[in-house]
Amino acid sequence: MKKRKFGLVLTSVLAASAILGACGAKDDDKPAKDNDNASGGNNTEEAFSVAMVTDVGGVDDKSFNQSAWEGVQAYGKEHGLSKGDGGFDYLQSKSDADYDANLNALLRRDFNLIFGIGYMMEDAMAAIADENPEGQFAIIDAEVPADNVVSVLFKEQEGAFLAGVAAAKMSQSGKIGFVGGVDIPVINRFEAGFIEGAKAVNPDIVIEDKYTGAFDKADVGKITANSMYSSGVDVIFHAAGATGNGVFSEAKERKKKDPDANIWVIGVDADQYEEGKVDDQTNVTLTSMLKGVNTAVVDISNKAKNGEFPGGETLVYGLAEEGVKLADSRGAIPEDVQKVIDEYKEKIAKGEIVVPEKVEK
């Protein structure tokens, strides 16, 4: 399987994709369904339908799956498609036993491109791609070596490094925490980058790290955060999907009880600023480490639609490609700290710093 670095520029790819979509639509055997669009449903362009299967975190996890679904919806809106057969859709997995069934269900509904969201779907995606060589598939955060699958990876460790710098610089206690979901390579990359970044600016920083074993257990996330904050941790970075919602719940409760407490959460995958809102004046979200999952979904969907499906390739998005970055802190991070973060960002993007993918234990 070919492997290459693919430049994804978050601020420009949607516009570029729109131009591609206007210039060379791929002919399909399946006619477009009537849909609501700018021309009042009279679009004669044949539809290229796209759908996705979530992992167990759910489509409303305010994180990874939600970002992917936003990308699918954006693609649908761009091309005047409706939710459902012949347009765009998703199926939600309640357990890993649902992956095979959901992927096959979308295939039977004749979607042209099917995304599997998450590392945990690797085996199911490999099986369905092998059984359906004429299908087009994409998997996020895993590699499936098949000519009809495009694999999408991110250099989470690079964005997490910046989160670590922010956490260490903003901590008043000298103790910060990392809450991971399942102990798998993609989450290991978040952990490694966070630890490396924190130690780069404060070698004496104390870091508590804990894997919860789940992406869909907000109650476990809350219990884990409670333990960390109680031990003196004042900044927690979570990479735990919907489990991380519990981290926010705990932080907000503590901040509400003590408005002067230095309590922060760093969100993941999507901008989780709203998740940290305590009241109109108070928010516990320091920043969020963003992954361009939504933009990658739009970009790949448009390429497939235009006959440029990058099957058999692994597309890798890092800081240099703006595939990962920190969200706007809305003033939570002071200018002097932001300057340090920006300096490290530039060094990583230039290759002067290579961030490890795994913690050496």
DSSP 35-59: ---TTSS---SPP--EEEE--TT-T
Residue type, 347: K
Give the per-residue pLDDT at 81: 98
**What is the reported pLDDT for 321?**
86
pLDDT number for residue 46: 79
The full set of domains in the chain, from first to last, is: 2-154+292-317 (3.40.50.2300), 156-290+324-349 (3.40.50.2300)
Partners of residue 265 on adjacent β-strands: 236, 285
- For residues 14 and 35, give the distance between their C-alpha atoms in angstroms, rounded to a whole number: 21
Kindly provide the b/e burial profile for residues 319-335, where b requires at least 16 CB atoms within 10 angstroms of the residue's own CB.
bebbbbbbbebeebbee
Q: What is the pLDDT of residue 45?
A: 61
Q: Nearest Cα to 48, choosing from 72, 67, 65? A: 72
Q: State how far Cα 235 lies from the chain centre.
A: 21
Q: What is the pLDDT of residue 36?
A: 39
**CA 203-207-210 angle, 5° bins:** 155
Low-confidence ranges of the chain (pLDDT < 70): 1-45, 361
pLDDT of 334-360, one tens digit each?
Answer: 999 999 999 999 999 999 999 999 998
Q: What are phi and psi of 135, to 5 degrees?
A: -80, 165
Amino acid identity, position 188:
N
Q: In angstroms, rounded to a whole number, what is the distance separating the alpha carbons of residues 336 and 343?
A: 11
Specify the pLDDT at position 361: 67
74 Cβ partners below 8 Å, 6+ apart? 14, 294, 297, 298
